[in-house]
Amino acid sequence: MNTNIKALAQDLSNYDNLLLTFNIGEVMRNHLPNILNDKNLLDKSKFDYEKNNPYTKHILYSCDNWSLQALIWKPKASTPIHNHKCWCTVGVYQGELFEERFKRLNNNTVQCYKTVKHKKGVFATLMPDGNDIHRLINNSNEIAITLHFYGINAFKQPSSILNEFSDIEKIG
Ligand SMILES: [Fe+2]
């Protein structure tokens, strides 16, 4: 295992699931700068680019409590608007990504209240309380790579998404 991922795994093993959710932001702040700057983390020659998908997922590590996936983004690719059923830390490994944050107006309708550009090295943690709703967009003409840490076993649960939202209320 990569040494930086191993250090993270050792740290994460000190927590049970509930404690980990509570402390995940702090744990990730201690490890993500090293991981996102680790040139040896990914063997890009092994990455496939799924032709018809906007982004391709590669599971790099998974145990019962957490997993790590790399996402390879085509230019102009975006996720649906979604929240998560587990904690989630996303960091930019290559390129840059826009993140739109949404607030929920009612069960299905959301409104964008913030758009942030994340450059290489930037990371953010989302909580599984239903209120951290976002969409990620590679608005550039280059391939981007992001790392996604989830509080689930990626082999048992292929998706970390709780809900997708398609009703967007425009501001004004
Ligand atoms: Fe997400």
pLDDT tens digits, 43-70: 888 787 777 889 999 999 999 999 999 9
- Cα 125 to averaged position of ligand 1 atoms, centre (Å): 9
- Cα 64 to averaged position of ligand 1 atoms, centre (Å): 20
Where are the chain's structural domains?
3-168
- Cα 47 to averaged position of ligand 1 atoms, centre (Å): 21
Q: What is the pLDDT of residues 125-148, one digit of tens each?
A: 999 998 999 999 999 999 999 999
**Predicted local distance difference test score (pLDDT) of residue 61:** 94
Which of 27, 54, 21 shows the shortest CA–CA distance to 136?
Answer: 54
Where residue 172 falls among pLDDT bands split at 50, 70, 90?
low
> Under 8 Å CB-to-CB from 11, ≥6 apart: which residues?
27, 30, 31
- Cα 43 to averaged position of ligand 1 atoms, centre (Å): 24
Give CATH for domain 3-168. 2.60.120.10
Distance of CA 20 to the CA centre of its chain: 17
- Cα 154 to averaged position of ligand 1 atoms, centre (Å): 14
Q: What is the pLDDT of residues 153-169, one digit of tens each?
A: 999 998 999 999 988 88
- Cα 90 to averaged position of ligand 1 atoms, centre (Å): 8
- Cα 162 to averaged position of ligand 1 atoms, centre (Å): 10
- Cα 7 to averaged position of ligand 1 atoms, centre (Å): 24
Where residue 75 falls among pLDDT bands split at 50, 70, 90?
very high
Provide the edge-to-edge strand list for the sheet that holds 161-165.
Answer: 161-165, 81-84, 133-137, 97-104, 109-118, 167-168
